[in-house]
Structure 1
Amino acid sequence: MVTIKEIAKAVGVSSATVSRVLNYDPALSISPAKRQAIIETAEALNYETPRNRNKANGQTAPSLLTKLVIVHFLEPSDEIADPYYVGVRLGIENRCRDLKTEIVKVFHSDALPEASLLEGASGVIVIGKHSDNEIEWLQQYARQVVFADFDPRIEQIDSVLSDMGMATVKILESLQANGYRRIGFIGSHEKLNGTVTPFGEKRCAAYIDWQKQHGTFDPELLALADCTSGQSLRLETGYRLARDLLALREKPDVIVTSNDNMAIGTYRAIQEAGLSIPDDIGVISFNDIPVAQFLMPPLSTVRVHGEHIGEVAVDLLLERLAGRAYGKQVRISTELIHRDSCRKAMNS
């Protein structure tokens, strides 16, 4: 059996350093090149770590992630109203249950949480959009931070999300290919760092850019909510904004909504107006929450894998705790689900 001493001699480091690297000691200060050399040398010599020997004997090594704090951008009532974000959190919790990790949940409030909540935690997973001030606070007090469903655009911070701009273009190109020309959009303004950006939300921005590129942009077809306080976009918001679009002299022939909850409200507005889905007007959305397939007609939507986003966020945190020293940004693919709420079977 190859020993740690032999690996240390081959790489030119101490046996203690080899041991700490192979046992994923996050407190060890060592260059990435040296760490990689140790791991590659151990693999070349077929060294079997104590962790792997334990697995072979049916034993499980203690997890590096003993305590996790989840910081959510929504209040509990808003999260419950949006099954997508429930899915993200459940992905995190299910992964942590396998690891036997203690979880502390912190939901949105007007003030920053107490720093003591982070004490003793291996790391923090942050769900959703947060301001620069909140991100700075998290970096100051958290041992490790990973963002789920939001990219803070800081290279050294890990994040995992789906590209909603790309998903929006996927929808629009499919609608265009199937003969839709007057495409309405229901969404919201974006608010971050105290500033409202009217067209900053990813889906909205992608919709506007695509329409302008094709010479078809009509501001009348854009209906945005003013709910910029961070709350989720609910059924009543979709209902109200859909009524605005349906009041136009020339109605849209299809409406894209920012999430499935808003699509449900849009269904109600269309049906109250005496119109038929999809014969008179089509509807398509994002998230593919469980109820989407049971609407009448079933809702066409982009499936965003919320639970996978949560699972990958935990995996990114584990990588950090195991010693990864560089930032990583992960994109989870989306899937266009074709159902009957558009008048034609759409092509992906």
Structure 2
Amino acid sequence: MKTATIKDVAKEAGVSISVVSYVMNNNPNVSISKETREKVLRAAKKLNYTPNSIARSMRTKKSMIIGLATFWDISDSVFTDILKGVDSVAGKYGYSVTYCNITNSFNSNKITELYSQRQIDGVILLLHVDPAISFNEIEFINNIKSSKIPAVVINGNTEDPDISYVYIDYYGTSYTAVNYLYKLGHRNFCYMLPDEIELNGKQALRRINGYKDALKNLKLTDSGLYFDREAICDAINLLNSFSPAERPTAVIVNKTRYAAYLLRTFGEHGIKVPDDISVIACNDQNIAEFLTPPLTTIKVPTYAIGQKSADILFEILQGKSLNIKLKLSNEVVERSSCKSLQA
């Protein structure tokens, strides 16, 4: 059976070959009516037409692929949500997304090779705010720039003036948590820190600073009660030592996984959440809804971050010179671990 060509689709749809090309490549620079687009897609489906990606790449000098390079564990919901967001935008432009694993000793050579070999047209770099000691982010980004690879950075710990960034707002997670609880009538708080291995990292420090600044801006007194997983029982004793007027009525927790330990220990000590004390975590992990009680959290808009970073990259691929530094707003995911104290 003869393989259908672009000419066959054009004849079947009653349009020019150029129109078929614009539709099949999802060209954002050409306006095609909905009726014509649907006519072309019906014709292509009827004839089982599949564009020749190799020929298209040779003709356009584009791979129709973008890279997503990251340290992130691919099973982590942050990575999967961002990938879904990137892919949703890439698909609108007729692009696919390929994954590039960055190891701790990784340099940019792999990405520059992919780009020089026309295997990718650009790259989104999903980086950690607390990188491995062996990873030099500045050098890495400079190599990407010197190779003139269109790129957008998600997160990271740099702010290169020539690169666009979409940051994860760790500071805003704890700041939002305090303000949410304040609206519920809470005025006295305490804070559960991460484990020692994370404590001095930028992510943890930004959350602590967001917590402190929120208290300050609301003119609230810091209880001074900061504790980690190893000191939960000591914190419970300290909570009981506060006067009723000063006793914290809510705990802000650095991450959901630490909140899971807190909820369990509270339960073992007969402390009811949220009747006796409210608990909120500064990130939203899959286990949150399955805890007892289901945990109220602050959700980083990872899917939207993926979408926005891809939007920026495709604008760059269309020839725009962009230097955007962006943070998207976090949101509260209300479940059952926070109680209103409003009369």
TM-score by length of 2: 0.66
Structure 1 pair 284–163 and aligned structure 2 pair: CA distance change class (3 A): same
| 1:246 has 2:233 as partner | no
Residue 111 of structure 1: SS of its match in structure 2? coil
Residue 264 of structure 1: SS of its match in structure 2? helix
Q: Which amino acid aligns with 1:326?
A: L
- Which deviations, in whole Å up to 9, do the C-alpha atoms of 1:41-78 show, x marking residues without a partner? xxxxxxx998435984537998967333323243x3xx
Residue 31 of structure 2: SS of its match in structure 1? helix
Q: Which amino acid aligns with 2:67?
A: V
Residue 199 (structure 1) shift:
8.9
Structure 1 pair 261–87 and aligned structure 2 pair: CA distance change class (3 A): farther
- Give the distance between the partners of 2:287 and 2:162, measured in 1 at CA: 38
Paired position in structure 2 for 1:135: 138
Paired position in structure 1 for 2:125: 126
Q: Percent identity?
A: 22
Q: Which amino acid aligns with 1:127?
A: L
Say whether the 8 Å CA contact 2:189–2:249 is kept in structure 1. yes
Residue 323 of structure 2: SS of its match in structure 1? coil
* Unmatched tracts of structure 1, length 5 or more: 1-22, 24-47, 225-238
Say whether the 8 Å CA contact 2:67–2:124 is kept in structure 1. yes
Residue 286 (structure 1) shift:
3.1
Paired position in structure 1 for 2:159: 153
**Which of 203, 210, 219 is residue 207 of structure 2 equivalent to?**
203
Paired position in structure 1 for 2:104: 110
- Give the distance between the partners of 1:287 and 1:163, measured in 2 at CA: 11
Residue 87 (structure 1) shift:
1.6
Paired position in structure 2 for 1:18: none
Say whether the 8 Å CA contact 2:295–2:336 is kept in structure 1. yes
Residue 68 of structure 1: SS of its match in structure 2? strand
Q: Which amino acid aligns with 1:71?
A: A
* Unmatched tracts of structure 2, length 5 or more: 1-21, 42-50
Residue 243 (structure 1) shift:
4.5
Aligned Cα root-mean-square deviation (Å): 3.8
| 1:340 has 2:343 as partner | no
> More deviation in 177-186 or 270-279?
177-186
Q: Which amino acid aligns with 1:246?
A: I
Aligned residues: 278
Query: Considering only CA atoms, is the larger Rg found in Structure 1 or Structure 2?
Result: 2
**Which of 205, 224, 227 is residue 223 of structure 1 equivalent to?**
227
Residue 310 (structure 1) shift:
0.9
Paired position in structure 2 for 1:327: 323
Say whether the 8 Å CA contact 1:302–1:334 is kept in structure 2. yes
**Which of 166, 171, 175 is residue 165 of structure 1 equivalent to?**
171
- Which deviations, in whole Å up to 9, do the C-alpha atoms of 1:273-309 show, x marking residues without a partner? 3311112221112343444334332222223221111
Residue 245 (structure 1) shift:
3.1
Say whether the 8 Å CA contact 1:285–1:301 is kept in structure 2. yes
- Give the distance between the partners of 2:308 and 2:28, measured in 1 at CA: 25
Structure 1 pair 149–178 and aligned structure 2 pair: CA distance change class (3 A): same
Q: Which amino acid aligns with 2:166?
A: V
Residue 198 (structure 1) shift:
7.7
Say whether the 8 Å CA contact 2:296–2:335 is kept in structure 1. yes
Q: Which amino acid aligns with 1:245?
A: A
Say whether the 8 Å CA contact 2:179–2:214 is kept in structure 1. no
| 1:176 has 2:182 as partner | yes
1:225-304 to 2 correspondences below 5 Å: 239-240=229-230, 242-243=232-233, 245-248=235-238, 249-250=241-242, 252-304=248-300
> More deviation in 254-263 or 312-321?
254-263
Q: Which amino acid aligns with 1:161?
A: Y
Say whether the 8 Å CA contact 1:245–1:252 is kept in structure 2. no
| 1:52 has 2:31 as partner | yes
- Give the distance between the partners of 1:283 and 1:139, measured in 2 at CA: 43
1:40-119 to 2 correspondences below 5 Å: 51-53=30-32, 56-57=36-37, 58=40, 66-74=64-72, 76=73, 80=75, 82-97=76-91, 99-107=94-102, 109-113=103-107, 115-119=109-113
Structure 1 pair 197–336 and aligned structure 2 pair: CA distance change class (3 A): closer
- Which deviations, in whole Å up to 9, do the C-alpha atoms of 1:150-175 show, x marking residues without a partner? 57333332122353434433321232
- Give the distance between the partners of 2:203 and 2:28, measured in 1 at CA: 53
Residue 104 of structure 2: SS of its match in structure 1? coil
- Give the distance between the partners of 2:305 and 2:28, measured in 1 at CA: 30
Residue 117 (structure 1) shift:
3.8
